[in-house]
Amino acid sequence: MSEQGKSCASFSPVKAQSASDMAKETGGQWNEFFSSVPEPAHFQESIAAVTKFISSKQADQSSRVVMVSSGGTTVPLEQLTVRFVDNFSSGTRGAASTEYFLERDYPVIFLYRAKSLQPYSRHIPSVLDLLELDETSAGVNVKSADVARTRLILEKYMKNKSSYLMITYETLGDYLWLLKGIAQALDCMGPRAMLYLAAAVSDFYVPIHDMPEHKMQSDRKPVIEFSLVPKMLLPLANIWAPNAFIVSFKLETDEDLLLPKALQALEKYQHDIVVANLLTTRKKWVTLVERTGKVTKLVNSTEDRDIEELIVNTVVDKHTEYIIGRPTAQESL
Ligand code: 9Z3
């Protein structure tokens, strides 16, 4: 990679004033959200690890860093949580994309839902089924039919394991606290930072003051009132990391809504790309929508390849164009 790398705040703003004004105006909603969901227990340690990881990459002026978010979010229904609302996401998109970003030399901050899929190990769903007893040595071996495939995965893992940092979350609140902290830490990378938001994030939550402290009892119908989660893309793209390249994902089940919703999000939040996908076909095709309005359908033609390879390679090329096209503050004077 060869492009100019700049430190914090040396890039001129290219976002529409309206989006950044709107982000400032809605700041109150965000403050209210963060005061109504507790900071995750490991927050300070996680952000310290992220800052250290970014600093170790920042010195190389051509290095880029991507944060990949992955997996679903839980929405607790009680303060001492026994029950929560969850969603379908397995974390395939994020874990697979991380592998392809590593192949393109991107260090990755992998922000993933605890127990969802992880890079490389996702290829080995059951370790026990992979192994057999070796009676001669009284040890264990990988079954001969699986040796070549397992070795390939292990080689890739060994090569790349120091280039990605794993940070976990469980609840919607944990995810948004960490997203904000990581985005703010990445801001120092200017346009060399990318946020790739593949996690399936709940639109609804129960503020702590609307939640019972103890387990809900089963002697009466529960009454649960959800609040709307403020749209995090607005402060993300306009306040927390205004110079970063931001790729969001839009999930729908009704195809008629897919493109209008993606275009609406880009217009409103002024970020860079929306990857629009449908629940049932998300592994076969996606539609990539750019801020210019350009629409590209990416289709996975073979069953044995991951569509994420196609998505990541396309997004990396767009990121290169973004970095090259980004005027520095001095150039725009
Ligand atoms: C996605 O659309 C991801 O592609 C999937 C991947 C969650 C479908 P899996 O984890 O599935 O591989 O099983 N993510 C949706 C991101 C999201 O929640 N976007 C929000 C929205 O659509 C806000 S950015 O409004």
H or E element, residue 53: helix 43-58
Residue 58's pLDDT is what? 80
For residues 256-295, one letter each, b for 16 or more C-beta atoms within 10 angstroms of the residue's C-beta and e for the rest, the string is eebbebbbebbebbbbbbbbbbbeeebeeebbbbebeeee
- What is the rounded distance in angstroms from the CA atom of residue 38 to the CA atom of residue 171? 10
The CATH number assigned to the domain with range 17-118+132-332 reads: 3.40.50.10300
HEC-encoded secondary structure of 200-261: ECCCEECCHHHCCCCCCCCCCCCCCCCEECCCCHHHHHHHHCCCCEEEEEEEECCHHHHHHH
Residue 11's pLDDT is what? 56
Tokens 């402060």 identify what position? 235
112: three-class secondary structure by DSSP: strand
- What is the rounded distance in angstroms from the CA atom of residue 215 to the CA atom of residue 217? 6
Residue 62's pLDDT is what? 84
Residue 120 C-beta-side C-alpha neighbours within 13 Å: 18
pLDDT band (50, 70, 90) for residue 250: very high
Residues 6+ apart with CB under 8 A from 250: 258, 261, 262, 265, 274, 275, 276, 277
Ligand 1 centroid to residue 201 C-alpha, Å: 7
Model confidence pLDDT, tens digit, residues 62-71: 899 999 999 9
Which of 93, 113, 115, 116 most suits a substitution to test ligand 1, by most atoms within 8 Å of the C-beta? 93
Model confidence pLDDT, tens digit, residues 146-162: 999 999 999 999 999 99
Residue spans of the domains in the chain: they are 17-118+132-332
Is residue 332's pLDDT more than 70?
no
The DSSP bridge partners found for residue 311 are: none
Residue 329's pLDDT is what? 47
In 3D space, the residue among 242, 188, 144 whose CA is nearest the CA of residue 56 turns out to be 188
Ligand 1 centroid to residue 172 C-alpha, Å: 14
Is residue 327's pLDDT more than 70?
no
Residue 59's pLDDT is what? 77
Which atom of ligand 1 lies closest to the CA of 233? 24
Residue 2's pLDDT is what? 39
Structural tokens at position 59 = 């010195």
- What is the rounded distance in angstroms from the CA atom of residue 123 to the CA atom of residue 306? 12
55: three-class secondary structure by DSSP: helix
Number of H helices, E strands in the chain: 10, 14
Ligand 1 centroid to residue 97 C-alpha, Å: 13
80: three-class secondary structure by DSSP: coil
Ligand 1 centroid to residue 60 C-alpha, Å: 32
User: Between residues 62 and 253, which one has the greater pLDDT?
Assistant: 253
Model confidence pLDDT, tens digit, residues 87-140: 999 999 999 999 999 999 999 999 999 999 999 999 998 999 999 999 999 999
Instruction: State the amino acid at position 8 in one-letter form.
Output: C
